[in-house]
Structure 1
Amino acid sequence: VLVISMMSVLNSVSAVFLSQGQYGILKMLGYSALGVSFLAELSGFHNLSSFVLSGFIITLLSVYILWSLLAFSETTMNWINSSTNIASIKIRNVLNFTRDTGKPKLALYQLFIDAVLWIVFVSVLFRIWDPTGTVIGTLSSYATEGIPMGDIRIVPTNIIAGIIAFAILSGITGWIKSWMDRRWLRQITSDRGARDALVTIVGYTGFTISLLVGLSIGGINITGLAVVAGALSVGIGFGLQSIANNFISGIILLFERPIKAGDFVSVGDVEGYVKKISIRATEIETLDNQDMLIPNSELISGRVTNWVLHNPYGRLIIKIGVSYGSDVEKVKTILESLSSEHDQVITDSRASPPKALFMGFGDSSLNFELRVRILDIKKRYDVLSDLNFEINHQFSKEGIVIPFPQRDIHIKESSDKK
């Protein structure tokens, strides 16, 4: 009767949890266990029947608990990521992400929780179906004493401990980086580039220490890495030369700081703001909101224009042509006066005042250049547009014509004389 009842329960559970047909092997194993228990009872093997049936019941209960905890874990992570509850907001602040943007970070926590739940579940299964502990003892022996492979012995517990140590130290390094930037560096300097450089160096140092500690705990002889380093040097000489070049260039950029985060730079035909200097490449956001990755070696060996290296000041040159016969003195006065009224144009002693220069006589116009110094070179396109609008307005108001290229064609008639 109990076996038939368990078959009914198994069928109901399968209809709920295996509605899409997946994990059919589990359903088959369940029916097989119940069938073995039933046949053992009919054959007189009461202890075997009782052992199989009790194991099946406990296993079914364990599966239900595991499923409930996994579902609860997923629901909790979604709640932390998207809820407007005060508690979820505080958790997001501690984990340093905003609403609906933390799935990648929460996925790591969920992976850890799911792994722990599955490990506990597997250990429970061993306790149920291996009451003598033979299998567990054998596995424990291999895990602690290691598995011999030739001249070496691989110890799984040491490897797992090394991975855990590396993960914990890496997490501590990330927390230190965040704490330094938030609580210390912002109080010392307002230069974002300097803060990013220090935080990046601390991150590289922490990662190196975490890796060495993890390898040491994992049973890898650190002194033996010298052989690996020698092999890598050969690889660098052939295939990894550009990667090593970019890495060294990134270190130079962080220490020498010819460019830093927030600077407005021009690299070849790429122009934009430096967002981040990483180990291999520098991320630049263009004026079209495109993120360009420039290899660090190009920033060291190539020609780079940093518009704000020492100060944000910059110069604009606006070329203007007026028609022949225009009052050039009046043109000069208009250009210098209207540019001096712009709030971004420097008119004090910090730089030379706006100046209009008569550059020469063109084919169709008298050529002028208006040269001004502005407070923030990042706004040069806005200032250029404002000045062009104002120049066009003032010239139209004063009757000064901006000519376009033109040609006079003279047709000469001639008669053929016979």
Structure 2
Amino acid sequence: MEQLNPEMVDAAQGLWSNVATFFKLLLLPTRRSQLIAVLGLVALSWLLARGLSPLLTGWLRSRENWPKWRLRLGLLVDRRLTLIVFALLSWAVVLVMREVTWPSRSQVIALAANIATAWVAIFFLARVIANRFLRRIVSWAAWIWVTIDLLDLTDSVSEVLDGVAISFGDFRLSALTVLKAVAITGLMIAGARLLSQLISARLARNEDISPTMRVLTTKLLQVVLFSLAVIVGLKAVGFDLTGLAVFSGAVGVGLGFGLQKVVSNLVSGVIILLDRSIKPGDVISLGDTFGWIEELGARYVSVVTRDGKEYLIPNEDLVTGQVVNWSHSNDFVRLDIKFGASYDNDPHKVSRIAIEAAMGVGRVIASRKPVCWVTGFGDNSVDYVLRFWIGDATGGLTNVRGLVYLALWDAFKENDISIPFPQREVRLLNDSLPVSATAPPPADGQPDA
């Protein structure tokens, strides 16, 4: 059997000795009463939280026009109400006891108050991390580390974790180094995300910057901040990143072949942001999809249609395909409506009435006067096309066409202009054949049943 590392054995024995000494001191008669008091404060805090929680929830529900962050903060307080009440009661007891007796008589209660306060602070600070799984890992790691530090066991635990290590030549990787890397890198990423959100919010309020430049600046800022967070976090715990250069190059070549579409979409997204061909809020048509640009992502563009469907269109399709941007250079859009009128109606009168009807629709631009032209003499009617302009394609196209059609219908009814339907004439080529309005007899000569 392989022998254990002597240094690791000594570190584990030292940790066990420190833990045993701590519990021996905790069970001394002078501190036993404080331990009982801490347990009593825990029970009292639980009872008070059970009574205060419904009151706090009802009060939050009655708050109208409150920002979402305040309501979320109130819900977080409700989730950790027992721990918050325990911390407040513990500090109150400690302050009172330090005024009336020796500080050593409240040392255990003060230790419990410090641990509870640190746990509450970590719980609220960890909300900065958006990823739920990562937030739980960071929270638990921080709670354990703070508890060990306040119990004065940091050196002993560090020695044990540092003894659990694997070596590759001159490279040594210990459990302590891994934990430090995860903790520092997680905090750096959380800080980078918070800073990115603050800067993005400032950019969103700046009207002098175009929407595409805001998105591009935000994406570049996120890449730079998160890259720096990872690099600084790994360097802070002593990782040598120079050896990763060759490895990352080889991995990059392999990923380049395997993720061609992904890379193409990423590059296409940067091109879209740079040439400003589309931007958030634009109305576009791509194939059968007609909608509004909701968000420009790194890999796709989110397009929301009139019926509430959200299409995630790859950036490459927008760069290489034909896209109709209804609001690229300006917001003016011309629409055509085709209709027919009877040959008995004067075409000049029909055109004039159609133009007046279109101008009566609110969304039709009056400064760009509609026009109506005769396009042909059909089999059943004179064919016309009515052309008009709108300046708000974001309001929809089908609905404004429908309003113009209704206006034409009303105007034609008032002026006795008829919209003919298809008509057909049937002629007999041989007039000598008899024509009977009754049905012929059955083939077998028998009457019908």
TM-score scaled by structure 2?
0.64
Query: Please, which of 224, 231, 253 is the counterpart of residue 272 of structure 2?
Result: 253
1:409 maps onto 2:429 in alignment: no
Q: In the alignment, what sits opposite 1:92?
A: 69
Residue aligned with 1:223, SS: coil
Q: Please give the residue correspondences for 1:265-284 in structure 2 after superposition, counting only pairs within 5 Å.
A: 265-284=284-303
Q: In the alignment, what sits opposite 1:370?
A: 386
- Decide whether aligned partners of structure 1 residues 207 and 123 sit closer, same or farther in structure 2, where only a CA change above 3 A counts: closer
- Decide whether aligned partners of structure 1 residues 211 and 409 sit closer, same or farther in structure 2, where only a CA change above 3 A counts: farther
Q: In the alignment, what sits opposite 1:140?
A: 158
Q: In the alignment, what sits opposite 1:20?
A: none
Shift of 1:227: 2.5
Any idea what the Cα deviations from partners look like across 1:332-372, whole Å, max 9, x if unmatched? 11112222343433343xx5x31111001222221100011
- Decide whether aligned partners of structure 1 residues 318 and 117 sit closer, same or farther in structure 2, where only a CA change above 3 A counts: same
- Decide whether aligned partners of structure 1 residues 119 and 209 sit closer, same or farther in structure 2, where only a CA change above 3 A counts: closer
Aligned residues: 347
- Decide whether aligned partners of structure 1 residues 160 and 142 sit closer, same or farther in structure 2, where only a CA change above 3 A counts: farther
In structure 2, C-alpha distance between the alignment counterparts of 1:291 and 1:315, rounded to whole Å: 26
Shift of 1:175: 1.9
Q: Please give the residue correspondences for 1:32-181 in structure 2 after superposition, counting only pairs within 5 Å.
A: 65=42, 82=60, 89=66, 92=69, 108=127, 111=136, 116-121=142-147, 137-143=155-161, 147-150=165-168, 151-154=171-174, 155=177, 156-181=179-204
Shift of 1:261: 0.3
In structure 1, C-alpha distance between the alignment counterparts of 2:58 and 2:325, rounded to whole Å: 42
Tell me if structure 2 keeps the 8 A contact 1:265–1:306: yes
Query: Please, which of 359, 367, 374 is the counterpart of residue 358 of structure 1?
Result: 374
Any idea what the Cα deviations from partners look like across 1:97-144, whole Å, max 9, x if unmatched? 89999x9x99836856665445545667x77xxxxx6xx655312546
Q: Please give the residue correspondences for 1:185-224 in structure 2 after superposition, counting only pairs within 5 Å.
A: 185-186=206-207, 188-189=208-209, 191-224=210-243
Q: Which moved more, 1:365-374 or 1:234-243?
A: 234-243
Tell me if structure 2 keeps the 8 A contact 1:193–1:261: yes
In structure 1, C-alpha distance between the alignment counterparts of 2:317 and 2:37, rounded to whole Å: 62
In structure 2, C-alpha distance between the alignment counterparts of 1:90 and 1:371, rounded to whole Å: 47
In structure 1, C-alpha distance between the alignment counterparts of 2:167 and 2:265, rounded to whole Å: 38
Ranges in structure 1 where 5+ consecutive residues have no aligned partner:
1-46, 128-132
Q: In the alignment, what sits opposite 1:385?
A: 402
Tell me if structure 1 keeps the 8 A contact 2:126–2:139: no
Q: State the AA in 2 paired with 1:368.
A: Y
In structure 2, C-alpha distance between the alignment counterparts of 1:330 and 1:201, rounded to whole Å: 60
Tell me if structure 2 keeps the 8 A contact 1:160–1:218: no
- Decide whether aligned partners of structure 1 residues 114 and 163 sit closer, same or farther in structure 2, where only a CA change above 3 A counts: closer
Tell me if structure 2 keeps the 8 A contact 1:317–1:369: yes
Tell me if structure 1 keeps the 8 A contact 2:340–2:383: yes
Cα RMSD of the aligned pairs, angstroms, is 4.3
Any idea what the Cα deviations from partners look like across 1:27-46, whole Å, max 9, x if unmatched? xxxxxxxxxxxxxxxxxxxx
- Decide whether aligned partners of structure 1 residues 236 and 384 sit closer, same or farther in structure 2, where only a CA change above 3 A counts: same
In structure 1, C-alpha distance between the alignment counterparts of 2:74 and 2:277, rounded to whole Å: 36
- Decide whether aligned partners of structure 1 residues 336 and 209 sit closer, same or farther in structure 2, where only a CA change above 3 A counts: same
In structure 1, C-alpha distance between the alignment counterparts of 2:189 and 2:42, rounded to whole Å: 31
Higher RCO (C-alpha 8 Å, min separation 6): 2
Q: State the AA in 1 paired with 2:394.
A: K
Q: In the alignment, what sits opposite 1:396?
A: 413
Shift of 1:193: 4.1
- Decide whether aligned partners of structure 1 residues 375 and 81 sit closer, same or farther in structure 2, where only a CA change above 3 A counts: farther
- Decide whether aligned partners of structure 1 residues 208 and 119 sit closer, same or farther in structure 2, where only a CA change above 3 A counts: closer
Query: Please, which of 330, 339, 342 is the counterpart of residue 358 of structure 2?
Result: 339
Tell me if structure 2 keeps the 8 A contact 1:81–1:92: no
Shift of 1:199: 3.0
In structure 2, C-alpha distance between the alignment counterparts of 1:347 and 1:175, rounded to whole Å: 44
Q: In the alignment, what sits opposite 1:36?
A: none
Any idea what the Cα deviations from partners look like across 1:387-411, whole Å, max 9, x if unmatched? 1111001111111111222322234
TM-score scaled by structure 1?
0.69
In structure 2, C-alpha distance between the alignment counterparts of 1:174 and 1:212, rounded to whole Å: 20
Residue aligned with 2:243, SS: helix
Q: Which moved more, 1:169-178 or 1:221-230?
A: 221-230
In structure 1, C-alpha distance between the alignment counterparts of 2:377 and 2:186, rounded to whole Å: 75
Q: State the AA in 2 paired with 1:397.
A: E
In structure 1, C-alpha distance between the alignment counterparts of 2:281 and 2:58, rounded to whole Å: 32
Query: Please, which of 326, 335, 338 is the counterpart of residue 316 of structure 1?
Result: 335
- Decide whether aligned partners of structure 1 residues 79 and 225 sit closer, same or farther in structure 2, where only a CA change above 3 A counts: farther
- Decide whether aligned partners of structure 1 residues 253 and 59 sit closer, same or farther in structure 2, where only a CA change above 3 A counts: farther
Provide the identity percentage.
27
- Decide whether aligned partners of structure 1 residues 291 and 91 sit closer, same or farther in structure 2, where only a CA change above 3 A counts: closer
Q: State the AA in 1 paired with 2:197.
A: G
Shift of 1:231: 2.8
Tell me if structure 2 keeps the 8 A contact 1:162–1:218: no
In structure 2, C-alpha distance between the alignment counterparts of 1:85 and 1:415, rounded to whole Å: 90
